[in-house]
Structure 1
Amino acid sequence: MSVPPSQWATNVFGDQAAAVRLGVGQGLRNMQANAQAAQEQGAARTTRAYGTSRYENQYERLQDELKDLPGARAVQPFGFPYELMLIGNGLLYPFRYAKTKSDVRSAHIPNETRLVKELFTFAPTPKHTQDPFDLDFGAAVTVAEPRGALATIPPDTQLILVPFACNASELLEAYWGIAALGVNRQLEWTTDPEALHLPQAVTSYTSRPIIIPGQITAHTSFADGTEPTLTLSSRTASDRALHLPAQTEAEPVEDQTSEDDATH
């Protein structure tokens, strides 16, 4: 028997609260499967392939599971390469808070970036921001105003956090709820963080299947290789009249890309 959604979830997502909760759990399961597949294909000593794939998939696989719900909308924050899902009055923000099982009530946001500050303008006000006897007169406290698509969503939107714990071996646990951003990135939960059901079945690995072309296994010597095709063109009459030397090959084209352009 399924557990009904919490009252806060019903207030935020309405009649779709159960469907959103189910979709978030399934999206995280697909995220883990995709990231583990990337790690296995890379056959690397480090887990960098897993980490890169997991970070991308924590947004994209949730979007796959939620985009067809009535009223669902993908929102892309300014300068951010991925989209967050807005459903009803809830803006979902998934992030990994630990690599092992840990008390989510003591979780911290990994990094207090400009994006995080903009997102938390849709969260409750923290109870404590700075000790009154620890004032910093050197810099004024500024509020990060939402930019880009975040500036277009209703002001009564609520940020719904989706913290999860995982590593390259397994997806351990996941929660969702509402919290303020306190001192030192500490989360101040205004709702009890609710554990999400993480199904065992995987509904999708990736929308871009990897196809490896067939490889030639027979040994071929240089002399037995296919003779290259040469493209010949005659010189114009004006070139011959001016006694210009024949051009034997095209001018080299400067490469405009490098390995540094790739995401590692």
Structure 2
Amino acid sequence: MSQWAHDMFGQRASLVRECVAEALSVAADNAREAQEVARTDHLHPFGFTLMSRKFEALAEAFQDLGDVRIVKPGGSQHELVVLDGTLLFPFRYAKDRSGSVMSARIGDGRPSALVQALFNRFGPEPRMRQLALHDVAPHAVPVAEALGDLPDDTRLVLIAYAANAHAGLLDAWWGEAELLDRLGSLRWHHCEEIPLTQEAAALAQGDTAAAFDQGALPSPELNPRSAGPAPIPLWPEAAGGA
């Protein structure tokens, strides 16, 4: 475990990390199951299921631990986990491994009012001037007010993961970052990988297996030809020696 993780979660940092990995794996598996049941080539079932289950699975994973609060901000459909004064926020940063988490954006478009409010209230001290809430999205102000019952020293921990309907969960990271712009660009202050569960790791490994033409060529088995009858001549004169 890193010093950052120990500073965040104390002696149970390892347990917290395991719970996060398990929750993401469960959410991705549920989303893949929904996609299979839907029997459609469109990926909406996977995406919609994952959007909800990632929050629900996290809440389920931590519901029996002490010092845990499950909060549902006004205007949000999702419950958020606050553990020891740390708010966990999961988001999918990629659908494959073609990009780096360091260039991740939070969301596919403009960050939601909730996301902007979380960064403004609980994100790390920005290393550059951060846009005020009213500059980014005026409708984020009521959301920020709805989070007023959380202490001001609450810290926002991002959980970034890559997943798709074919392979499920590919990788996961957590850390702290600041929101840079209206497109959801991030500047990580700290980011480290979360080891996946064995099942998720095996599935992800299968999705990144080498292409057929990159593998070792098979060695065909050669069996000796058994002795058979003498070949029959094609022409009668060949048989008579004429």
- Normalization by structure 2: what TM-score? 0.72
Deviation (angstroms), 1:144 = 3.5
Structure 1 partner of 2:56 = 60
| Partner of residue 93 from structure 1, selected from 89, 95, 99 | 89
Equivalent-residue separation in structure 2 for 1:106 and 1:56 (angstroms):
24
Equivalent-residue separation in structure 2 for 1:197 and 1:163 (angstroms):
13
Structure 1 partner of 2:214 = none
Identity value in percent: 37
| Partner of residue 78 from structure 1, selected from 74, 80, 86 | 74
| Partner of residue 18 from structure 2, selected from 3, 17, 22 | 22
Structure 1 partner of 2:115 = 116
Paired residue secondary structure (2:81): strand
Equivalent-residue separation in structure 2 for 1:104 and 1:97 (angstroms):
7
Change (3 A) 1:46 1:8: same
Number of residues of Structure 1 aligned to a counterpart in Structure 2: 189
Equivalent-residue separation in structure 1 for 2:135 and 2:20 (angstroms):
38
Change (3 A) 1:52 1:70: same
Deviation (angstroms), 1:201 = 4.0
| Partner of residue 154 from structure 1, selected from 129, 151, 154 | 151
Change (3 A) 1:130 1:155: closer
Structure 1 partner of 2:166 = 169
Deviation (angstroms), 1:8 = 1.8
Equivalent-residue separation in structure 1 for 2:130 and 2:22 (angstroms):
39
Deviation (angstroms), 1:89 = 2.1
Q: Greater strand percent: which structure?
A: 2
Give, as a single letter, the amino acid of the residue that structure 1 aligns with 2:187. E
Structure 1 residue runs of 4+, over 6 Å off?
A: none
Identify unmatched segments of 5+ residues in structure 2.
Answer: 201-242
Cα RMSD after superposing both structures: 2.1
Q: Deviations over 1:97-133 (max 9, x none)?
A: 11111211111111312101111020023323489xx
Change (3 A) 1:31 1:130: closer
Q: Greater helix percent: which structure?
A: 2
Give, as a single letter, the amino acid of the residue that structure 2 aligns with 1:176. W
Change (3 A) 1:8 1:39: same
Q: Is the 8 A contact 1:39 1:47 kept in 2?
A: yes
Equivalent-residue separation in structure 2 for 1:201 and 1:165 (angstroms):
16
Change (3 A) 1:89 1:29: same
Give, as a single letter, the amino acid of the residue that structure 2 aligns with 1:37. E
Equivalent-residue separation in structure 1 for 2:116 and 2:174 (angstroms):
19
Q: Is the 8 A contact 1:77 1:147 kept in 2?
A: no
Identify unmatched segments of 5+ residues in structure 1.
Answer: 132-138, 203-264
Deviation (angstroms), 1:75 = 1.1
Change (3 A) 1:81 1:17: same
Q: Is the 8 A contact 2:111 2:184 kept in 1?
A: yes
Q: Is the 8 A contact 2:130 2:180 kept in 1?
A: no
| Partner of residue 104 from structure 1, selected from 98, 101, 105 | 101
Deviation (angstroms), 1:140 = 5.5
Structure 2 partner of 1:43 = 39
Change (3 A) 1:23 1:195: same
Equivalent-residue separation in structure 1 for 2:114 and 2:63 (angstroms):
22
Paired residue secondary structure (1:58): helix
